[in-house]
Amino acid sequence: MADKEKKKKKKVKEDAADAPAPEPAPADEPAKRPSSKGSKKAAKRSGSNVFSMFSQGQVAEFKEGFSMMDHDKDGIIGKNDLRATFDQIGKLATEKELEEMLSEASGPINFTQLLTLFANRMSGGSDEDDVIIAAFKTFDNDGVIDGERLRHALITWGDKFSQKEVEDAFESMVIDDKGMIDTEALIQMLTGAAEEEET
């Protein structure tokens, strides 16, 4: 008789387990709601795919650059972070320039937003010459670039140069006796054209 009661209780538990659970209201816990495989894929597609535009190595380099620019380490690059970054490379930026840079983003500049800005630039905004010009203009100080500062940047960030690669590159540059590189000559050498449009 005890066996029959155990079997009966077991049968009731199995029936309860097989019955579909009621769906919670949409506001409760949407992440735990049952869904089909198709809707899971749709949810994945609806998110940002900016990370798929870059290799893992590129994302790591962007992350390193982001952390260097995020001076207050709050996960957002703000005006003070930009100002400190420009100060670090020895370039003064006006309030207007800082505000223009920040206004390029559709919201606060977190890491994903920064990647989105780079992706937008790469997908049609700037050509390679514009990127080269802009990169070297960030090092420019009254028409010259501090050779030691450029050397440090080349061996420290991004696709790092070896000491030999830096020496080979510096042999082609116009450098004065104080170690300063002529910015316009460098840009002209790298782009193959004078920078008439930029001035």
Q: Do residues 81 and 73 touch, judged by C-beta distance below 8 A?
A: no
Q: Do residues 139 and 182 touch, judged by C-beta distance below 8 A?
A: no
Q: pTM value?
A: 0.42
Give the tokens for residue 91: 């370039």
Q: What is the SS3 assignment for 141?
A: strand
What's the CA gap between 110 and 75, in Å, rounded? 6
pLDDT tens for the chain, residues 1 to 199: 555 555 555 554 555 445 444 444 444 444 444 444 443 333 333 345 778 888 888 888 889 999 999 999 999 999 999 999 988 888 888 899 999 889 888 889 999 999 888 887 776 544 567 777 888 888 888 999 999 999 998 888 877 888 999 998 898 888 999 999 999 988 888 877 544 444 4
Give the tokens for residue 20: 């579909």
Sort strands 180-182 and 140-141 into parallel, antiparallel or unpaired: unpaired
Q: Map out the domains of the chain with their CATH numbers.
A: 55-125 (1.10.238.10), 130-191 (1.10.238.10)
Q: Which of 146, 147, 137 is nearest to 195 (CA)?
A: 137
